[in-house]
Amino acid sequence: MWCFSQVKGAVDDDVAEADIISTVEFNHSGELLATGDKGGRVVIFQQEQENKIQSHSRGEYNVYSTFQSHEPEFDYLKSLEIEEKINKIRWLPQKNAAQFLLSTNDKTIKLWKISERDKRPEGYNLKEEDGRYRDPTTVTTLRVPVFRPMDLMVEASPRRIFANAHTYHINSISINSDYETYLSADDLRINLWHLEITDRSFNIVDIKPANMEELTEVITAAEFHPNSCNTFVYSSSKGTIRLCDMRASALCDRHSKLFEEPEDPSNRSFFSEIISSISDVKFSHSGRYMMTRDYLSVKIWDLNMENRPVETYQVHEYLRSKLCSLYENDCIFDKFECCWNGSDSVVMTGSYNNFFRMFDRNTKRDITLEASRENNKPRTVLKPRKVCASGKRKKDEISVDSLDFNKKILHTAWHPKENIIAVATTNNLYIFQDKVN
Amino acid sequence: MSQKQDEENPAEETGEEKQDTQEKEGILPERAEEAKLKAKYPSLGQKPGGSDFLMKRLQKGQKYFDSGDYNMAKAKMKNKQLPSTGPDKNLVTGDHIPTPQDLPQRKSSLVTSKLAGGQVE
């Protein structure tokens, strides 16, 4: 039973481009929640310590830090504008007091350090408290500076900048389970980096054809296996997923496994390839399964079985009879993401009209919920929504033609340990919690 | 359908008819949509979802032209007065050679994100 918890962002309908949320990601403990937007900014929320008195709800998320991660750039050589939009954020596991995350736009990946400062040195001999230098001749006694507590300050600083390694637009970054390396993928190539080294990157996948006229597919997403540091997968615009083993060769152009569901050729239409394009691929926490999202469905694949997915869930099948208009308004190219819950028992993805869907893999039940300010009293239980595909519309159902295709939920995230989810509408971030009682 | 059936079960018959068309579309709703699209845009590419989309995707963000266009435009420009850049600087203008002053100034977002409680304008 999902309840409204919080909503962040402006209420007004007039959305500035910069405020469009482009990525949402919990860190490994779930204590921090990061968002990136089209304006190149990152906002990090921190979960409050649980209030022992109000034990029926888990801590709220409040702003912890915000910074400008990327700026707009212009590549004069290629006459290309480089958007500052943050495509992905990935957290590093915490090793010390500071937090680290990778954020990327189309061309450049940056490693950010977020650290807390809660004390400062006071009592310098040669400096006043406001920083002005004292005239040394006025110093008559010496004192030892000491650390005094101060109001908490959270600082974000860029520690590494990984640039100039991608000709095409970066769509994914993924940190290896060795916590030393990570991959970045663009439309045609995947590169391997070491977190400490910014001036060198290894190309591990290159699908660029010698003759660009022969281009038939592009890389749409890539991810490292959660446990095997030598294994990664990448998905394509043709609906295939390739699993590669870095031990096999330096350049993993030849896959170790190819996951593809056979298509009935008689069902093929102009739209087939477009709607089969995979917009997101995510390994389960266990590493045994992976999930892919294409335009109309979510598929779960067993890594041991390449010829078809083990589970398929229809997200919004009713859109199949609207493909013509969805092609005309470009919605058919929308890239929806998907995510697993902490125990890999439920998967979630977004849809239109600010609806999002959850599929329980065990009970086979699914639910459609809406991210809307209408239900924004804390602990209000969300009412399940239903779309009526055709025929008589029942009360409380919404017909396909009334769906607002401008209200799309592309980015969702699930707390790694608890039933707390973050759902991004165009410019607002909703946080929902499962009723604890 | 016999006349008698029509009279007795008009609802059923319309139901069946509906089911027929629905079945046709149910089996291949995509094909019906495809037909709609082809009717609107008869010249739509032979290659379904082929390289046209991919090329467009790879070139996302390219707003200005290449040196070939540049030289052609330069030749034309000799006889034409330089048009002033209008309010919409994002138009790809084949005849107008942009100068650094003409390029839209990309200002970084100096305003704090509204998610962090930044100013609501």
Residue A211 has pLDDT above 50, yes or no: yes
Distance CA B10, CA B26 (A): 23
* pLDDT confidence bin for A75, thresholds 50/70/90: confident
H/E element, B12: helix B10-27
Q: What's the burial of A49, exposed, middle or buried (CB within 10 Å: 0-12/13-18/19+)?
A: exposed
Q: Is the pLDDT of residue A113 over 70?
A: yes
* Residue B54 to residue A10, Cβ atoms within 8 A: no
Average pLDDT over residues B78-94: 50
Contacts of A324 in chain B (CB under 8 A): 33-34, 36-37, 40
Q: Is the pLDDT of residue A147 over 90?
A: yes
Reply yes or no on whether the pLDDT at A380 is more than 70: yes
- What's chain A's average pLDDT? 94
Q: Where are the domains of chain B?
A: 29-62
Q: Contact A9/B60, CB-based, under 8 Å?
A: no
Q: What are phi and psi of A300, to 5 degrees?
A: -105, 130
Cβ pair B111:A72 closer than 8 A: no
> What pLDDT does residue A107 have?
97
Q: Residue A115: exposed, middle, or buried by beta-carbon count in 10 A (0-12, 13-18, 19+)?
A: middle
Q: Which residue of A has its CA nearest to B119?
A: A10
Which residue among A83, A215, A271 places its CB closest to the CB of B33? A271
Q: How far is B114 from chain A (nearest CA, A)?
A: 5
Of A63, A66, A215, the CB nearest to B54: A215
In tens, the pLDDT along A381-418 reads 999 999 998 777 788 899 999 999 999 999 999 999 99
Interface predicted TM-score of the whole assembly (ipTM), two decimals = 0.75
Question: What pLDDT was estimated at residue A392?
Answer: 73
Higher pLDDT, B99 or A426: A426
- Name the closest residue on chain A to residue B32, using Cα atoms: A321
Chain A residues within 8 A of B105 when measuring between CB atoms: none
Residues A301 and A288 sit within 8 Å (Cβ to Cβ): no
CB contact under 8 A, B51 and A215: yes
Percent of chain A with pLDDT over 90: 82
Q: Which chain A residue has its CA at the smallest distance from B57's CA?
A: A187
CB contact under 8 A, B108 and A72: yes
Tokens of B51: 């390289």
Give contacts of B57 with chain A, Cβ < 8 Å: 187, 218
- Residue-level pLDDT at A409: 98
- Confidence at residue A203, expressed as pLDDT on a 0 to 100 scale: 97
Contact A9/B57, CB-based, under 8 Å? no
Taking an 8 Å cut-off on Cβ atoms, the answer to whether B48 and A269 are in contact is yes
Cβ within 8 Å, pair B115-A35: yes
> Sorting pLDDT into bands at 50, 70 and 90, what band is B102?
low
Which of A212, A320, A327 has its CB closest to that of B37?
Answer: A327
pLDDT at residue number A58: 77
CA distances, A144 to each of A140, A150, B73 (Å): 14, 18, 71
pLDDT at residue B121, rounded to an integer: 34
Name the residue in chain B with its Cα closest to that of A322.
B33
Q: Do A340 and A414 touch, CB atoms closer than 8 A?
A: yes
For the entire predicted model, the pTM comes to 0.85
Tell me the nearest-neighbour CA distance from A315 into chain B, angstroms: 16
Asked if the model's pLDDT at residue A88 lies above 80, the reply is yes
Mutate to test the interface with A, among B65, B109, B119, B121 (most CBs of A within 10 A): B109
Residues 6+ apart with CB under 8 A from A181: A175, A192, A193, A194, A195, A229
Read off the pLDDT of residues B23-51 as tens digits, 9 standing for 90 and up. Answer: 444 457 888 898 888 888 887 766 554 56
- Please give the Cα distance from A261 to A270 (Å, whole number): 18
Least confident of A331-345, A357-371, B55-69: B55-69
Is A434 exposed, middle or buried, given 0-12, 13-18 or 19+ CB atoms closer than 10 A? Answer: middle
Tens of pLDDT along A334-355?
A: 999 999 999 999 999 999 999 9
Q: Is A213 close to B53, i.e. CB distance below 8 A? A: no
- Of A89 and A53, the structure prediction assigns the larger pLDDT to A89
